[in-house]
Amino acid sequence: MSSIARKLAGPSSSRGTRILGALALVSTVLLLLLGLIWSPREVDQADAVRLMYVHVPSAVVGLYFAFGVTLVGSIVYLRKQSDFWDLMAHAGAEIGVLFCAFVLVTGALWGRPTWGVYWEWDPRITSTTVTLVLYLGYLAVRRMDLDPVVRSRRAAILGIISFANLLIVKQSVEWWRGLHQGSTVGIDTQMDGLMFFTLAWGVLTFTLIFAWLLMHRFRLAWYEHQAAAVSLDDAIAARRGEHRSSLAGEAI
Amino acid sequence: MFELLRDARMVLGKDLLIERSSRVVTAQVVPFAVMILILFGFGISPDLRILDSTATVAPSVLSRVTPGLLFLAVLFASLLAIGRSFGVEANDGTLDGLRMAGLDPAGIFLGKAGAVVVQLLGVSAVVTSGAFLFFSVRIEWSVARAVLGVTTAGAAITAIAAAGTLYSALAAGQRERESLVPLLVIPVLAPVLLGASQATEAALFGAVADGWPWVAALAAFAALYVGAGILSFETLLEDM
Amino acid sequence: MHWQYVIPGYVIVFAGLGVYTASLMSRLRSAARKIPEEKRAFLE
């Protein structure tokens, strides 16, 4: 592997992630071509419909895959105390927050030409905003200055409740907007075959990107976990060394 | 089960006793909540009127948005009450004392949340009277409306207290707790505010029947959080 | 039509992904330096 490739792949690259990364890149290029050039305009929304191919995949992958990983990681961690799942839960939440932000930005940009305003009280956009803050809270708990095991355990409890909250927020906002003839970003008319394919391709691409990011974010968490253990070992060793030399001093 | 309730009652009694001697909620939180109502009047001008109304006297916007403002005031006040609930324990490590005394962690949770419920019911009674007074709310009184309104407040406050107590415990032992708890609790309570406003809207101005589904949703939310607190408090207290 | 909304949307999403990836890589590199070589390898 050339040094540039090594640098791009990072210090933790493995054959598996390199292949995954390459697939994600190729898939992204195809998505850009499909989304921006090859797929047709929509009758009512014209080119604004192209935002769907990044908006919907961000929502599917961010809200369900990423926060789903946090949910599963939290449950398994509480049952088995496995560090792997604890770090996975953390990694999932961080990437989920990123994708949530994409959902909001593309949703607002899509809203301007379709509704005439950047922010319509659309149920999905509204609940995504609340969900974003919910998981920012989860990440804040993960930064708490506490004993790592205590922090992980609290974060795991929070990771489970937060997913339940995600569903509650979504449902309650839908009921609420349902009373006021809610409108949702989307296409009411029959979707063209190529448009549907592009959307599916978008979901696939974002899933690949998510998987690649998740593995690397997990490795970062793993390194930090190891580094904490290493620095603890070093501190103990240094303390032992001091102790020994002071004993030696007394002996003389 | 019996012991759980006994422990809960003991903790609840203890917290209310502390409140009786310190008067933090009565003398600080209640005036704070009333002041929020006054500020709503400053923010939303009381002279703004709804013109397309069929009523002979056009109601003010302020009076029409009372349901939401009412629960916003209660929500903000609840943050103080919840902070206080754990503040009294944090200073002297008394939670350890409670656990050493052999109290059931689930009982501690129920007791602390219960004490917050009692205090918030008091706050909301004052805030509701205040809103009727300051915002000149005019409604057609009926027993059905009153029952819906009171049940809504009870369910919403139980939900707020249970979620608040749980999240306070999650953030315990942190210096930045004052800002962390609101960050965690506000998005969680967003659906409660939504449901409580809708139900109160029905109780004050709409058809009473429209309010009950929201009360059911609030009750389900409250039950969920009481359950989550009972299940997780043992783990959370262990770590404090 | 409406390209003025589409292009910023795509730019924000893909630039955002790029910036996040770059910062992830730099965080990974600095974290890797803090631990000895033999503890780095896994998932290979």
10-residue stretch averages of pLDDT, chain A, 252 residues long: 48 78 94 89 82 93 94 95 93 96 94 88 87 95 88 94 92 79 52 87 96 93 84 78 66 52
Q: Which residue of A134, A145, A153 is in closest CB contact with B187?
A: A134
Cβ–Cβ gap A105/C9 under 8 Å:
yes
Q: Which of B115, B119, B100 is nearest to B25 (CA)?
A: B119
A50: chain C residues, CB-CB within 8 Å: 6, 10
From CA A62, how far away is CA C19, in angstroms rounded? Answer: 17
Contact call for B and C: 3+ CB–CB distances under 8 Å: no
* pLDDT at site A5: 46
Q: Cα A8 from chain centroid?
A: 21
Scanning the structure block, which residue is given the tokens 């109304």?
Answer: B53
Cβ–Cβ gap C9/A51 under 8 Å:
yes
DSSP 8-state code for residue A48: G
Backbone phi, then psi, for B174, in 5-degree steps? -110, 140
Cβ–Cβ gap A12/C32 under 8 Å:
yes
Q: Which residue of C6, C16, C34 is in closest CB contact with A102?
A: C16
* pLDDT at site B217: 94
Q: Which of A153, A5, A145, A3 is nearest to A73 (CA)?
A: A153
Cβ–Cβ gap B183/A172 under 8 Å:
no
Q: Find, in chain B, the residue whose alpha carbon is nearest to that of A139.
A: B184
From CA B142, how far away is CA B204, in angstroms rounded? Answer: 10
* pLDDT at site A181: 45
Chains touching chain B through at least 3 C-beta pairs below 8 angstroms are: A
State whether residue B207 sits within 8 Å of chain A by CB. Answer: no
* pLDDT at site B94: 79
The shares of helix, strand and coil residues in chain C, as percent rounded to the nearest 5, are: 75, 0, 25
The full DSSP string for A126-169 is HHHHHHHHHHHHHHHHHT-SS-HHHHHHHHHHHHHHHHHHHHHH
Burial, A169: exposed, middle or buried (Cβ in 10 Å; 0-12, 13-18, 19+)?
Answer: buried
State whether residue C18 sits within 8 Å of chain A by CB. Answer: no
Structure tokens at B92: 């002297």
Interface size A-B, in CB pairs within 8 Å, comes to 66
CATH topology for the A14-217 domain: Four Helix Bundle (Hemerythrin (Met), subunit A) (1.20.120)
From CA A248, how far away is CA A242, in angstroms rounded? Answer: 10
From CA A104, how far away is CA A119, in angstroms rounded? Answer: 10
* pLDDT at site A251: 55
From CA B206, how far away is CA A145, in angstroms rounded? Answer: 49
Q: Chunk chain B into consecutive blocks of 10 residues (it has 240) and report each block's average pLDDT, rounded to whole numbers.
A: 88 90 88 95 89 73 92 94 84 76 89 95 95 89 93 96 93 81 93 94 91 94 94 83
Count CB-CB contacts under 10 A for residue B38. Answer: 11
State whether residue B180 sits within 8 Å of chain A by CB. Answer: yes
Q: Interface pTM (ipTM) of the complex?
A: 0.89
Domain residue spans of chain B: 2-238
pTM: 0.88
Q: Which residue of A136, A158, A168 is in closest CB contact with B191?
A: A168
